[in-house]
Amino acid sequence: MNEQLWTKAIVMGSSAIGAGLAMIAGIGPGIGEGYAVGKACEAIGRQPECKGTVQSTMLLGCAVAETTGIYGFIVALLLMFANPFIGKL
Amino acid sequence: MSLDVHGARILFQFGPVMITETVVNTWIVMAVIVGLCLFLTSDLQVHCRSKRQIIAEFIVKKVNAMVGENMGEHFLEVGYAPLICSIMGLSALCSLSSMVGMYAPTSDLSTLLGWSLMVFVLITYNKFRAGGPLGYIKGYFEPIPVLLPFNIISEFATPLSMAFRHFGNIASGSVITGLIYAALAAASHALFSLIPGAVGQVLGQIPILQVGIPAIFSIYFDLFSSCLQAFIFCMLTMMYIGSAAEG
């Protein structure tokens, strides 16, 4: 009984660390989106009449760039709330 | 401090068919949309006099312009504008329904997978129509035949990434909102327990800091993110279908 408890504790602790590590994926989209928005600001500054097009294109690009971060988030969510490893004990 | 993150609860069960909160809330949102459409389009006149007709005409014009610009005039004639408009309305209202305390249907992956499956069928149909069966199969061997497995993966990655993107954004909003509520409850308990005597004990039990402060975050996570994700889902739908038809 005690041993089983230890195993579960180790699996849960490792899952929590794994969830934290998965969220490191958030760095990439952060940098990428910041770069995209900076460039969009430059473009609007140069050609203010294109503001609408630049804005919608930038939002679309940001959403696509966000995907990798979202994948990391989903992995973290799975590890935290729908852990596949605990069921295998 | 308690944090409760859960999926859709099962409300009824008819044999193997489970009716979850997602289904019920989606039907509520659909009823709201139908009611809104009936309200906006009742009593239409050639020379528009009422405010609601102006709103209805504005929506139709905007969606038509968007579809014509991003997909081409052909798709406008075939009738893709109502599809895009209904996806956008459904997505936005489903996400916004979390503001009245309902479980947002878009924070369930099943809903988004259903929508993106529909988009996948439309993409495949348009590819078939543009190049015929041979052209469709030939598309997998481009630019060189070695890339066949990657082309197959990217074919399935398109709807999956669309679904995951929308789901991840809405679900992360609700997780962060839950975290904020739990943290504010803990903070107000720690803060007001500092008051000595019975007053501090009573005040410490009431999460006073939960009033107002979450609303600031809610503006971003509920209002802005919901509308943005609806817009992005529609834009991606239009772009994928448009580029599929070009061949």
Name the minimum distance, in Å, from the CA of A1 to any CA of chain B.
28
Does the residue A14 lie in any domain?
no
Q: What is Dmax (Cα atoms) for chain A?
A: 71
CA–chain centroid gap for B82, Å, is 17
Does the residue A46 lie in any domain?
yes
Our count of domains for chain A comes to 1
For chain A of 89 residues, list the mean pLDDT of each consecutive stretch of 10. 85 92 92 94 93 87 87 88 80
Domain that holds residue B143: 10-246
Asked if residue B227 has pLDDT above 70, the reply is yes
Does the residue A8 lie in any domain?
no
Give me the pLDDT at residue B3, please: 66
Cα–Cα distance measured from residue B213 to residue B231, given in angstroms and rounded to the nearest whole number: 27
Higher pLDDT, B127 or A88: B127
In this complex, the residue of B6, B169, B236 whose CB is nearest that of residue A70 is B169
Instruction: For residue B206, report the phi and psi dihedrals to the nearest 5 degrees.
Output: -100, 125
- The model's pLDDT over B27-71, given as tens digits with 9 standing for 90+, comes to 999 999 999 999 988 878 888 778 888 899 999 999 999 888 888
Our count of domains for chain B comes to 1
Cα–Cα distance measured from residue B125 to residue B244, given in angstroms and rounded to the nearest whole number: 9
Does the residue B2 lie in any domain?
no
Does the residue B4 lie in any domain?
no
Over residues B100-128, the mean pLDDT reads 90
Does the residue B5 lie in any domain?
no
CATH of the domain at A51: 1.20.20.10
Cα–Cα distance measured from residue B39 to residue B50, given in angstroms and rounded to the nearest whole number: 12
Asked if residue B1 has pLDDT above 60, the reply is no
Does the residue A76 lie in any domain?
yes
Interface test with A, best of B69, B175, B238 (most A CBs within 10 A): B175
At B10 the three-state DSSP class reads: strand
Domain that holds residue A43: 23-88
Residue of A nearest to B232 (CA): A60
Q: What's the mean per-residue pLDDT of chain B?
A: 86
Quick check: A74 and B232 CB within 8 A?
Answer: no
Does the residue B3 lie in any domain?
no
Which residues in chain B have their CB less than 8 angstroms from residue A70's CB? 164-165, 168-169, 172
Q: Please state which of the ranges A13-22, B175-184, B194-203 shows the lowest mean pLDDT.
A: B194-203
Does the residue A60 lie in any domain?
yes
Q: Is the ipTM of this complex over 0.85?
A: no
Kindly report the number of other CB atoms within 10 A of residue B243's CB atom: 14
Give me the pLDDT at residue B119, please: 93
Does the residue B51 lie in any domain?
yes
Does the residue A4 lie in any domain?
no
